[in-house]
Structure 1
Amino acid sequence: MSGPRQVIALHTRAAAGREGDYDREHARIPDDLDAALRRAGVHSWRIWRDGQDLFHLVEVDDYAAMREQLRTDPANVAWQQHINQFLEVVDSYDGDDTGLDLVWQLPTRGSDA
C-alpha cells in the first residue's frame, strides 16, 4: 500500500486468573502467524497489560483489509482458537471493528520548533 500506515489501538480483556497464561503464550508467537500478520500488512503489533486489561497498538497498511485477510488465514484461525481460551470475549473477525476512537494526541511540531 502506498499511503501512510494506519495506527490502530485496541482493547481486550484477559480472563480472570488467566493473565499469566496470556503473557506466556505471547512470549513467542508461532512462525506461521508471524508470517501471516506480515503478509496482511502488519508492520508492528504491541500489547500492554494492566491487570486483565490488554491494550494493543497495531501499525498496519490497511486495518480492514488485514482483518478480512486474517479472518480465514489458517495460521490466524488456529491462533484465535488457542488464545481465545485466555480471553473474556473472543474476536471472530466478523463485523466492522475499527479499534478505539482517538481522543487526543500531542500535536507534531515542525523541525523549526
Structure 2
Amino acid sequence: MQRIALHTRLKAGCEEEYDREHAVIPAELEAEMRALGVHCWRIWRDGRELFHYVEVEDYAILQAKLRDSPANQAWQARMNRFLDGDFDPGNGGLHQVWEM
C-alpha cells in the first residue's frame, strides 16, 4: 500500500463554501475510489492551504482509472472552481523529508 501526501490551495474567500461542498462526496465516486484501492483519503485545511493524505494500493493506477470516470470528472469540475491553480493528481505527491 502507498501513502501519498498532496497539497492544493483554495482561491481567496472560498474556504467556507469549499468546506460545505466537500463535507460529503457522491456515493458513486466513493464506491469507485474504494474499488480502485483507496483505503483512506483525508483532507486538512489551514486557511487556504489544503493537505491531503491518501492510503491507496497504487496511486498511479487510481489516477489513470479516475481520469476517464464520469463521476470523478463531475466531482473535479465541482471542486476545481474553488482551487487557486490546477490540481495535478499525476505529480506523485509531496516529497517526504522525515518520519518518526
Question: Per the shorter chain, which TM-score range?
Answer: over 0.9
Matched residue SS, 1:86: coil
Q: Of residues 76, 88, 98 in structure 1, which corresponds to 2:92?
A: 98
Identity %: 55
TM-score (norm 1): 0.84
Q: Which has the higher contact order (CA 8 A, sep 6+)?
A: 2
- Name the structure 2 match of 1:109: none
Greater C-alpha Rg: 1
Runs of 4+ in 1 over 3 A off after TM superposition: none
Q: Of residues 4, 8, 24 in structure 2, which corresponds to 1:12?
A: 8
Q: Do structure 1's residue 50 and structure 2's residue 46 form an aligned pair?
A: yes
Matched residue SS, 1:55: strand
Do 1:42 and 1:58's aligned partners in 2 also have CA atoms closer than 8 Å? yes
Give the number of aligned pairs: 100
Partner amino acid, structure 2, of 1:14: L
Partner amino acid, structure 2, of 1:13: R
- Structure 2: segments with no counterpart, 5+ residues: none
TM-score (norm 2): 0.94
- Correspondence list, 1:1-113, <5 A: 5-91=1-87, 93=89, 96-106=90-100
Provide the aligned C-alpha RMSD in A. Answer: 1.1
